[in-house]
Amino acid sequence: MFTGIITDVGRVRAVERQGDTRFTIETAFDTETIAIGASIAHNGVCLTVIEKGPGWYVIQASGETLSKTTLGGWEAGTRVNLERALKVGDELGGHIVSGHVDGVGRLVALRPEGESIRLTFEAPETLAKYIASKGSVAIDGVSLTVNEVAGSRFGVNIIPHTQTATTFGGLREGDAVNLEIDMLARYVARLAGQE
């Protein structure tokens, strides 16, 4: 489990495509404190550390993961939002995020709003019904509050800190993003018989 609070922006050092795909990730995390087998969220995708060294570690993604997320487009140099798994007793600053991406959305509009940036995303129709104004959503692993919803489109504001502490400062219109809907919304819909 995660909180959607990004604690490092790493960088893909290398990509090896053979059977499953292996990514070597450069990080500011102290890799001495990362166990082999540890879970780390990468742009919202929970993946397992299989090798490590000073300032880097390796993860492996299956074809299924590559086809259901934005990871299939990663290459050397890609910047990645990173979050280590939540420990019992940690502060829950965002919302509960599982690291299981529900689908890929797209940034359709970007405009300045004061010092913030207003981002408008389009979600797949199958996910749009779970996104509510003032609810939570994880975009590329970042916990955000939804400002407004219009059909399959929804808007969020990104403050200057979030622009620099995540990959959002580099987003451009048309970019694909990983979406994870709020877990509570999913269960409420299920209980209400809408799923």
List per-residue pLDDT tens for the chain, 195 residues long. Answer: 899 999 999 999 999 998 899 999 999 999 999 999 999 999 999 999 999 999 999 999 999 999 999 999 999 999 999 999 988 777 777 788 989 999 999 999 999 999 999 999 999 999 999 999 999 999 999 999 999 999 999 999 999 999 999 999 999 999 999 999 987 777 776 677 766
Q: Where in the chain is the domain with CATH 2.40.30.20?
A: 8-84, 103-191
Residues, the chain: 195
| DSSP letter (8 states) at residue 35 | P
- CATH 2.40.30.20 for domain 103-191, yes or no, is yes
CATH number of 8-84: 2.40.30.20
pLDDT, position 147: 96
pLDDT, position 89: 75
Separation CA 139–CA 166 (nearest Å): 11
Separation CA 49–CA 63 (nearest Å): 17
